[in-house]
């Protein structure tokens, strides 16, 4: 068991995190001095060969820097909003991760990726209905009983028309956090995507949202394709996303971590230098 290092220097109100999914020790060594926390996606470091489990070689990479950074988990495949069942395989991976690493908290996307046991191939946003809210709240409660650290949910971008519902997007999140006590991740890039793709009024959303449960902020950069801004973290952070992130940092009173997310598949095209430059830029903003 490793992680959750004792305070090794000056305490900061706001910590900087980055995605790291393994297999690139040169990158790890370069970013580890620029950040406080590594974001681990359990599904992204898992393999199914010889049983579904976490890759031991990547866990060893994390162990090698455990005296220098903390760890948080951020899942992709739990499918907390599926009508039938969430993905129990993800929970098994999370169990394994908790048994190996001390995590400051864990989080998931507020989405449905599995329908009737079938992978949708996308992250579907949920209808803002009482039925969906009750389903997710019950599962959040179960997660909070199962694991001894805070649980956070992140809103996802929406590409499809919004299904009819009784809550606004912010109202749905407010009800979710007030009923369960769970935390929130705000993703500045996702909000920019929603603004570009279907005209989300980000200022109105933030004005309605209870920002007290927001513990983590995600920033990323992506591409436009056929008129859509895509949730594919493959670019440096655009200026408008950066400005929005600064605005949220100033408004969310309990924000603790800012995470720069990039896809493992995009590391080659981004380049180590660009990733480190983004982390340095963010580090300066949060006073690191």
Partner 1 sequence: MSALERQQRGLLDLIKGRGAPPQDAYFAQVAHSAGLVMVREIALWWRAMQLDVQCRYTSRLLKRTSRFEGLVAAYFDAHATSSFVEELSRDFLQTLQTDADVLVAATAGFEYALMEAHADSSESFEILWDRDPDAVVVALEQRSALPPPDADWTYRMRVGAGVPNLVRCSRERKQFRVDNVREPIP
Binding site for partner 1 (CB under 8 A): 43, 46-50, 52, 77, 82-84, 87, 112-113, 115-122, 124, 127, 129, 131-132, 135, 158-161, 163-164, 197, 225-228, 230, 232, 265
CB of 166 vs partner 1, minimal distance in Å: 11
CB neighbours of 140 closer than 8 A, spacing ≥ 6?
A: 80, 151, 153, 176, 180, 182
What are phi and psi for residue 3, nearest 5 degrees? 110, 180
CB of 283 vs partner 1, minimal distance in Å: 31
Q: Based on CB atoms, which residue is closest to partner 1, 129 or 168?
A: 129
Q: Based on CB atoms, which residue is closest to partner 1, 170 or 230?
A: 230
Enclosing H/E stretch for 134: helix 130-146
CB of 94 vs partner 1, minimal distance in Å: 14
Q: Please report how many Cα atoms fall inside a 13 Å half-sphere around the Cα of residue 196, on the Cβ side.
A: 19
- Report yes or no: 101 and 62 within 8 Å, Cβ to Cβ: yes
Q: Based on CB atoms, which residue is closest to partner 1, 165 or 283?
A: 165
Cα–Cα distance, 158 to 160 (Å, whole number) = 6
Q: How many helices (H) and strands (E) does the chain have?
A: 10, 16
CB of 151 vs partner 1, minimal distance in Å: 21
- Report yes or no: 65 and 32 within 8 Å, Cβ to Cβ: yes
Cα–Cα distance, 188 to 219 (Å, whole number) = 6
Q: Based on CB atoms, which residue is closest to partner 1, 66 or 126?
A: 126
CB of 11 vs partner 1, minimal distance in Å: 38
Q: Based on CB atoms, which residue is closest to partner 1, 74 or 256?
A: 74
């Amino acid at each position: 068991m490793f992680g959750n290092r004792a305070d090794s220097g000056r305490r900061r109100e706001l910590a900087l995190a980055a995605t790291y999914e393994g297999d690139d020790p040169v990158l790890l060594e370069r970013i580890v001095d620029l950040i406080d926390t590594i974001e681990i996606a359990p599904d992204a470091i898992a393999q199914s060969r010889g049983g579904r489990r976490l890759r031991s070689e990547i866990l060893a990479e994390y162990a090698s820097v455990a005296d220098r950074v903390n760890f948080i988990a951020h899942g992709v495949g739990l499918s907390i909003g599926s009508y039938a069942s969430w993905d129990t395989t993800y929970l098994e991976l999370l169990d394994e991760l908790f048994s190996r690493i001390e995590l400051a908290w864990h989080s998931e996307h507020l989405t449905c990726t599995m329908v009737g046991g079938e992978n949708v191939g996308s992250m579907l946003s949920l209808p803002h209905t009482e039925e969906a809210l009750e389903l997710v709240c019950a599962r959040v409660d179960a997660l909070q009983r199962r694991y001894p650290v805070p649980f956070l949910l992140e809103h996802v971008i929406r590409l499809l028309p919004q299904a009819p519902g009784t809550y606004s997007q912010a109202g749905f999140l407010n009800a979710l956090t007030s009923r369960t006590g769970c935390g929130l991740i705000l993703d500045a890039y996702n909000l920019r995507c929603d603004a570009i793709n279907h005209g989300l009024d980000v200022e109105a959303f933030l004005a309605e949202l209870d920002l007290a449960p927001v513990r983590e902020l995600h920033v990323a950069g992506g591409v436009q394709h056929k008129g859509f801004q895509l949730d594919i973290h493959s670019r440096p952070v655009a200026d408008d996303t950066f400005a929005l992130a600064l605005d949220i940092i100033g408004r969310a009173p309990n924000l603790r971590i800012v995470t720069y997310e990039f896809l493992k598949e995009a590391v080659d095209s981004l380049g180590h230098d660009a990733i480190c430059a983004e982390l340095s830029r963010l580090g300066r903003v949060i006073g690191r």
